Every structure is written in structure tokens, then in C-alpha cells.
Amino acid sequence: MKMTYFGHSAFRIDTGSSVILIDPFLTGNPHFKGDVKAATDGATHILLSHGHSDHVGDTVEIAKRTDAKVAGTYELVNWLSGKGVENIEPANTGGTIKFDDFSVTLTQAFHSSSDISENGEITYLGMPNGLVLHFAQGPSVYHMGDTDIFADMAIIEELHHPKIGLVPVGDRLTMGAAVAALACRRYFNFETIIPLHWGTMPILDPNPDKFKEAMEDEASRVKTPTPGEAFEI
């Protein structure tokens, strides 16, 4: 299984017959230096944690071009349907969608989810979520979305035993470095942790260094891939 981190919270996962994009915020993402079409070519699925523009990103354009299935909470994917996305897979917190060679379960996340139009109108887009992916071949992955720590992370570990943790650490809009490290150390047995949601906005921590420091003797589990470069897991 191959993963590519595009910066912020955006990923591509190539596995079996599927090409999965998670929160594909590429246009306007300062960490993404490539070509959007090339980076998303062949996408079969788009998974969305919540409706903020820095996570929905290029979903509409990609979905129209590739006919990828767009999965996320009920309100969000139906709102995208109104924007011309034809292939939607609605779900809600606790639900699982099964595809040919992987499944995705929506977990809770402590955040918000909405769209703000140019004239300031706010559209509610359902609950925010984390995403747990189980693969026919490859380790399970937990993309936390945007969230604070919460004690029921222990139940996510008990139910899913994720091996790869994609964890927001940038503070201000999500949990910060010390709290994210506490979540990883207290609740999970991740083999690999990739810190997310840092350095792409002035109000976020500029790098994940504080998170690695807070992981202390478990810092060897932290991987900071170069945005745009694929790696095997």
C-alpha cells in the first residue's frame, strides 16, 4: 500500500484497485507544489472528514473529472451533490461504508463543520468526523480529521486497532502538540504516526517539532513525509 501526503490533512492512498483521496485540499495549500490533475489522476474514492473549505478543497472538480465516489456525512455529501457531484456515499457517525478492497468507518471528532459563502452565509454541513480505514491488504489507518482529544478515543482503539495514525497537531483549530501526543500515548498503539494540520496557516504551529518532542521516548514512531513524495506502509 502506498501513501502520499500533500500537506495540511490531504492524503492519497493507493491500494489494490482503489485510489483514495482524503480531504483533498490542494489548490491554495502552500505545502502542495504539484499539479492537481496529476496528483489526483485515477481517483476512485474521496473521503471527507468535514465540510470546511481546507478539507473539502478540490473535491468537486476531482469528482466531476474522475467520477470518484465521495463519502462523508449525510449533509455534506448531499450539499456536494447540489454542486454537481454525482457519485455520493452518505453515512454518519458510527457507520461503515464497504467498498471492494477497503472500508471506511466514520468516528466522532470534536470540531465543527460548515461552509461560509463569499457573502458570509453559513451552511451547516453535519457533524465532523474522523475516518478509520480497513484494507483487504495493508494496515488500518485512522485519520482523526480536525479534533481535540476525547476519552472515547480509547473505544476507537478497542474497536479498530489502527496501526497508522494521522493526527492533527497544529493547535488553534485542533488540539496542539502536547495534547496530541497525550492522545497518541494514552489511547493508541500506533506503529506509525504522521502529524497533520501544521504550517499551512499563520495561526498554526509552523512545524511538528513540538509534537515530536512531546512524544518523548516514543518519538521514533513519528514520520514526517515530504509533501508530494509517495511512501510505502
pLDDT in tens, 106-156: 999 999 999 999 999 999 999 999 999 999 999 999 999 999 999 999 999
Per-residue pLDDT, 87: 98
Per-residue pLDDT, 50: 98
Cell readout for 141 is 489507518
Which residue type, as a one-letter code, is found at position 190? F
- B/e letters for 76-85, b = 16+ CB within 10 Å, e = fewer, are bbebbeeeeb
Q: Which of helix, strand or coil describes residue 4?
A: strand
Per-residue pLDDT, 161: 98
Q: At 169, is the pLDDT very low, low, confident or very high (cuts 50, 70, 90)?
A: very high
Q: What does the pLDDT average to over 182-192?
A: 98
CA gap 93, 72 in Å, rounded: 9
Q: What CATH architecture applies to the domain 2-225?
A: 4-Layer Sandwich (3.60)
**CB neighbours of 119 closer than 8 A, spacing ≥ 6?**
none
Nearest to 11 by CA among 143, 164, 139, 102: 143
The mean of the pLDDT values for the chain is: 98
Could you tell me what percent of the chain has a pLDDT over 70?
100
Nearest to 192 by CA among 157, 167, 227: 167
The Cα-based distances of 103 to 171, 176, 229 in angstroms read 30, 29, 25
pLDDT in tens, 6-35: 999 999 999 999 999 999 999 999 999 999
Per-residue pLDDT, 124: 98
CA gap 195, 211 in Å, rounded: 8
Per-residue pLDDT, 228: 95
Q: At 69, is the pLDDT very low, low, confident or very high (cuts 50, 70, 90)?
A: very high
Per-residue pLDDT, 7: 98
Domain limits, the chain: 2-225
CA gap 107, 88 in Å, rounded: 19
Per-residue pLDDT, 223: 98
The Cα-based distances of 20 to 24, 63, 126, 173 in angstroms read 10, 12, 22, 25
> Contact at 8 Å (CB) between 208 and 177?
yes
CA gap 65, 224 in Å, rounded: 30
Q: What does the pLDDT average to over 37-43?
A: 97
